[in-house]
Amino acid sequence: AAFLYNLIETVRISAILLKPFIPDSSEAIRKQIGAAEEQFNWDSAAVWGVLGSNKVEKGANIFPRIDLKKELEELEAAAKSKAAPEPVKEEEPLNLITIDDFKKVDIRVAQVLECEPVPKSDKLLCLQLEVGSERRQVVSGIAKWYKPGDLVGKKVLLAYNLAPAKLRGVESSGMILAATVGDAARVVFVDEGIPTGSQLS
């Protein structure tokens, strides 16, 4: 009996000291050994023999035995899943064209004379361009990244022989060239010294 009493006292004091680290398990121990709150505080941890004729309650296993084999299998499976290389994303093959195909596109230098938003559209700008001695109207979907004033006076590259089309009811004769940078479009500007109408070759 003395042995069991000493064992329970040892468990009580150990559980109090471990309470900051395993509070739920510590509380479960208190209940199972039948200790009152005042027998399970910091002050009582320094006193041996606090427990009287407490009745030990049989409860659930506070620290269940670990299935080592199962744990190792789960750890190995997790390690393998992390170590498995991600599938290499195949790049789409280039859509190659011949020099003759490239020559079909007539790209010329143009200067923006006027620029204004297309009515009822938050994406389109209508640009009036000077292309040599000719004047062209082009609609471009760059309103999200450029204000009209940003473009007036700038020299750009124009796909000159693109078939005319109507965008939001506004005719567009050609297309100014822009690069895609992330989710944004950046217009390709040309050196001021290059005359309008100059053909790209």
The CA R_g of the chain, rounded to the nearest whole Å, is: 40
pLDDT of residue 40: 81
Q: Do 133 and 57 share a structural domain?
A: no
Question: What mean pLDDT comes out for the span 163-183?
Answer: 91
Give 5-63 pLDDT, tens digit per residue. Answer: 778 788 878 888 888 888 888 888 878 877 878 788 777 877 787 777 666 667 677 77
pLDDT band at 133 (very low <50, low <70, confident <90, very high): very high
pLDDT of residue 27: 84
pLDDT band at 86 (very low <50, low <70, confident <90, very high): low
Residue 85 domain-assigned (yes or no): no
Residue with token string 């109507």: 166
65 compared with 187, residue with greater pLDDT: 187
pLDDT of residue 95: 80
pLDDT of residue 55: 67
Give 147-166 pLDDT, tens digit per residue. Answer: 999 999 999 999 999 899 99
Q: How many structural domains compose the chain? A: 2
Residue 20: domain span: 2-61
Residue 50 domain-assigned (yes or no): yes
Phi, psi of 114 (to 5 degrees): -140, 155
Residue 114: CATH number of its domain: 2.40.50.140
Q: Do 105 and 30 share a structural domain?
A: no
pLDDT of residue 43: 78
Q: Is the pTM of this model over 0.75?
A: no
Q: Do 118 and 168 share a structural domain?
A: yes
Residue 126 domain-assigned (yes or no): yes
Question: How many angstroms separate the CA atoms of 175 and 196, rounded?
Answer: 15
Phi, psi of 134 (to 5 degrees): -105, 155
Residue 197 domain-assigned (yes or no): no
Q: Do 109 and 183 share a structural domain?
A: yes
Q: Do 119 and 54 share a structural domain?
A: no
Strand ranges (E), the chain = 107-117, 125-131, 134-140, 155-159, 165-167, 170-172, 175-176, 178-181, 184-187
Question: How many angstroms separate the CA atoms of 84 and 14, rounded?
Answer: 44
pLDDT of residue 144: 92
Residue 17 domain-assigned (yes or no): yes
pLDDT over 80 at 64, yes or no: no
The two three-digit tokens of residue 155, written as one number: 């020299």
176-177-181-186 Cα dihedral, nearest 10 degrees: -50
pLDDT of residue 1: 62
Residue 89 domain-assigned (yes or no): no
Question: How many angstroms separate the CA atoms of 157 and 199, rounded?
Answer: 9
Q: Do 183 and 103 share a structural domain?
A: yes
Residue 88 domain-assigned (yes or no): no
